[in-house]
A and B are shown apart, each in its own frame.
Chain A
Amino acid sequence: MSWALLSLASPLLAALLALMIRHGADRIVLGATLISLIAAVLALASINGEQPVSLNLGGWEQPLAIRLELGHLSALLMILTGTLHLLVGLYNRVSDHGTSSRSDYWPLSALMHAVLLALWLSRDLFNWFVTLELLSLAAVAMVTLSGPKAYAAALHYLMLSLMASLFYLLGIALLYGQEGVLDINQLAQQLTDTPITRLSLLLMTLGLMMKAALWPLYLWLPDAHANAPTAVSALLSSLVVKGPVFILWMILWHLAPAPFAEQLGLVLALFGGVALLAGAWSAMTTPYLKTLVAYSTVAQLGYVLIALGLSLRWQALELATALWLFIIAHALAKVSAFLAAGEMQGTYGRKELTVVKGATLTMPVAMFAFAIAGGSLIGLPPSGGFLAKWILLQPMFTSPAHWPWAFTILAGTLASAAYVFRVVSLSFDQPDITPGSLTQNLPAQWLSLLPALLVWGLALLSHPLLLWLSRGAVV
């Protein structure tokens, strides 16, 4: 547990330091991120056996204390967060289209890192509310880093986010009024199925879905993610929307009474199916490159919603493994896709999709990164996206009544292939510019390739990963 605390403290301190010492903020934050990542790996290694470790903050006993809990799932998400923050931070430093070494990106991203870690470790409703608020504020502030053109999107994001917080807070208030506790384990033990319980769960679900941009509450996402600086887009799509999903899973799985969970699960899964196709359709028709990638997030969250909804509906814990795998695989692939797309947009100097015409010749590394990240988004074997889809498909053939879900997922696969190959096939067209005429930044392009390689490399790690996730899903 102490490793986890170190991992949490290090970016938090770095955020404060980077605020005070502007010169060299980038190095401070990157160093702290590295320390945090190493500590997170050690934290995973320190978990003995299958039981998670708990810590009551401030020496108070339950139910007064704020409890942190480190299990396999939390540790894996911490590692994911650290890895992606490190990669994106490095990209932001190396790329010609990143923000400057003195910009507000550094303290804000360190804050975001720390808040996310706190979110993965928290186990009570109010603590989650605090982390959600901080997360949204950091995210909105980071969207504005790309200047006045992003203000409208950021404001829109902020408004919806605040509204979402209100829903969530109202839900907590109702539940606290009824039960008098906020810790999720205690709530799970004593919660009864009353109309108040259901109403509060519904309100929290609504708020969290808005924050996570789950269909149909996603409308703020494409603008915010497409207009933010590239490094920020990558963090927003890969990590920030996953925080609320984590909380949503936790409260619904642990707190929702069984009949309610089944009804709500069906609705969520249906939303997921629509999200898969509607998101993909928007990605297929948008004229802008980064918007395409942003809509792909909407579509990919459809898989997450299906896994979440069906695991509730069928009380199938193994689907939670699929859920987390989707989250991990999507996070890695999406970072690659955004970094590659942003690097191409910056280098060619236009944001239309048509800039990638001939990109296999003019910017081969970035284009390759985009293509193989796309392969994981489609779910081609043996990428992480495939692993997740495979686990998700397994329970669907136990009874013919489940088959429509399998076909929905396959339709989603084809739809995502359509938007990925929309970009890829354009990149094989004859380029309008001569290959030598661009000033390229190769290290930045290679950095964008790295997460995509990692997501395909998950195949080698699949065994321990599945084991940890199946344990992590229990707690």
Chain B
Amino acid sequence: MNFLQQAMPLLVVLSSLIPGLIIFTLREDQRALRTFLNLAGVSVQLVLVALMLLGVSRGFSFKLQLPFIPNADLILRADALSLQFVTLSSVLWLATTLYAIGYLKGSAQHSRFFGYFSLCVSTTVGLALAGNLITFLLFYELLTLTTFPLLVHRGTREALKAGKIYLAYTLTGGTLLLLGIVVLHSLAGSPEFMTNGYLQAFQDDHRLTLTLAFALLIAGLGVKAALFPLHGWLPRAMVAPAPVSALLHAVAVVKAGAFGIIRVVHDVYGISLAHTLNLMSPLLWLAAFTIIFGSVMALRQNEIKKRLAYSTVSQVSYITLGVALLGPIAAIGGLVHLVHQGLMKVTLFFCAGIFAETLHVHRIQDMNGIGRRMPLTMAAFTVGALGMMGLPPIAGFVTKWYLGMGALEMGQPWVLLILVGSGILNALYFLPLIYRGWFGLAPERWPEDTGLGGGIPGWRETHWMLLAPTLFTALASILVGVLAGTPISPLAWTHFIVNPEFGL
């Protein structure tokens, strides 16, 4: 058991790394083997994650520690928070892999794509399992490297330009993060993340240093979390293939930033120190502003994917907002949104990809009547969009409820205005799409009907490998909302994560 407890976190990382490395060596035509490796990797990972979920809920710990730099070991460990992120990653990896196989059919360079795709999941999982700042930094930087090839996969001029902008932003962010980590390391070393942080001892003598380091860390993490004004790369990055956008927006990159912010606030600084140093109010204002800003920008876009991209800017800041409120209920709202936004956003990007691939519909004005041609896809899209608006019982409602209650608990009622305002803006930019889709007059002919899957509304409206994952994630978005009160929901798990942080 002891050996297994050490090996588990590493095995989870390897379960996607090894298939990825093998896939690189495959020839283009070894399609079956490639699909097998993809699915075998994801299955093994799901089993391992399920085992660890069970273990952690029973009080076991899983940890691997390797010597690296003086006072900074490499630590991979599974705690409640990391497992939430790992579970999200591996479940969505399954969905996205299926989707990507369907999506890329007929295009070239599969081995390169799926190789980096697996590496990307592996680094995301590693980032989730990172047990101290130095390990986190390692995976944070590797994530930049593994996502870049996916982003520029099409090799068009536009994609390469977006890739360069992405690198400029993320590498600068990584450098700032490194700087912040070095500052903290020279103060306290890099011990394991711990509930309530490990920096309280320095709060009297090193206020300035701690504040500076916090600013550096948030600036570094804010780039990937697309906090205003560091969000510039995200809308451009939607030139990537749809499964990549889905993964980037739902799990891999933006969530890595948000997850890092949670880690820094809860497990490096700790709630009480964040209070004492008054670190949170700037972050709170920034998050609130980003929520409104993202929504307003989304409203101004004509392309479906661009609108979704700005919507991500807005929605991911809910997580930061929840954390920055520094109250237990708000923290639950923020943390659970990590999962909820992931499920809903992945659904929306899947749908946008299906519209683009099946009918070459890219712009919002072309969506008229698409619901009659593709009812199932449009239904999934509707679920995602309504969820983003915060309609019960879809996942997004639970988040908003907790965030609102949390804001009241912490005596910050103005946050409610932000939430309501964002809800209204969400409605303004999503409802027209839903209206057009269901009630608009369908054009005589679509921009280009590829006839994927048979072209018959219903099960054969598009390729089944595109449709099935989309319906799955849409269903999951509803289920996590409906079942929020039961012990198997992400919400219940979030309670399990948050309570110790506040001594509950």
Contacts and interface: CB of A to CB of B under 8 A. Distances in A.
Interface stretch (B57-65, B66-74, B381-389, B401-409): B66-74
B186 interface: yes
A381 B137 contact: yes
Given A361-B109, A393-B182, A413 B175 contact: yes
Interface string B69-86: 110001000000000000
A417 interface: yes
Interface string B165-191: 001000110110011001101110000
Interface string A373-412: 0010010111000010011011011100000001000100
A428 B69 contact: no
A381 B141 contact: yes
A92 interface: no
B145 A380 contact: yes
A425 B164 contact: yes
Contacts of A382: 68, 74, 138
Most chain B C-beta atoms within 10 Å of own C-beta, residue among A393, A397, A459, A462? A397
A472 B178 CA distance: 28
Contact of A466 (B70, B112, B174, B178): B70
Contacts of A391: 69
Contact of B186 (A375, A387, A394): A394
Nearest to A410: B175
Given A382-B74, A429-B160, A463 B137 contact: no
Nearest to A372: B145
B359 interface: no
B171 A414 contact: yes
B49 interface: no
Given A360-B112, A410-B179, A421-B164, A381 B138 contact: yes
Contacts of A428: 149, 152-153, 155, 160, 163
B442 interface: no
B241 to A, nearest CB: 13
Nearest to B167: A421
Contacts of B155: 358, 428-430
Contact of B112 (A361, A406, A414, A462): A361
A387 B68 CA distance: 9
B171 A381 contact: no
A381 B427 CA distance: 43
User: Which of B24, B69, B142 neighbours the largest number of chain A CB atoms within 10 Å of its CB?
Assistant: B69
Contacts of A396: 182
- The binding surface of chain A is classed by DSSP as helix
Contact of A462 (B68, B138, B142): B68
A364 interface: yes
Nearest to B144: A380
Nearest to A407: B179
Tier of interface size on chain A: 20 to 34
B145 A364 contact: no
Nearest to B24: A364
B17 interface: no
Nearest to B141: A380
Contacts of B145: 375, 380
B67 A397 contact: no
Contacts of A406: 179, 182
A421 B171 CA distance: 11
A382 B139 CA distance: 9
Interface string A147-187: 00000000000000000000000000000000000000000
A394 B164 CA distance: 30
A380 B143 CA distance: 11
B69 A462 contact: yes
Interface string B462-485: 000000000000000000000000
Contacts of A393: 178-179, 182
Contacts of B141: 380-381
Interface string A417-428: 100010011001
Nearest to B108: A361
B152 A425 contact: yes
Interface of B: 24, 67-70, 74, 109, 112, 134, 137-138, 141-142, 145, 148-149, 152-153, 155-156, 160, 163-164, 167, 171-172, 174-175, 178-179, 182-183, 185-187, 209
Given A397-B209, A428-B149, 19 more contacts: A381-B141, A381-B142, A382-B74, A382-B138, A391-B69, A393-B182, A394-B182, A397-B187, A410-B175, A413-B175, A414-B171, A414-B172, A421-B164, A421-B167, A425-B152, A428-B163, A429-B155, A459-B74, A462-B69
Please name the 10 residue pairs, one residue from A and one from B, whose CB atoms are nearest each other, closest first: A381-B138, A397-B186, A428-B152, A430-B155, A393-B182, A463-B67, A417-B171, A380-B141, A410-B175, A397-B183
16 contacts: A360-B149, A364-B112, A380-B142, A380-B145, A380-B174, A381-B138, A393-B179, A393-B182, A394-B182, A396-B182, A414-B172, A417-B167, A425-B163, A428-B155, A429-B155, A462-B69
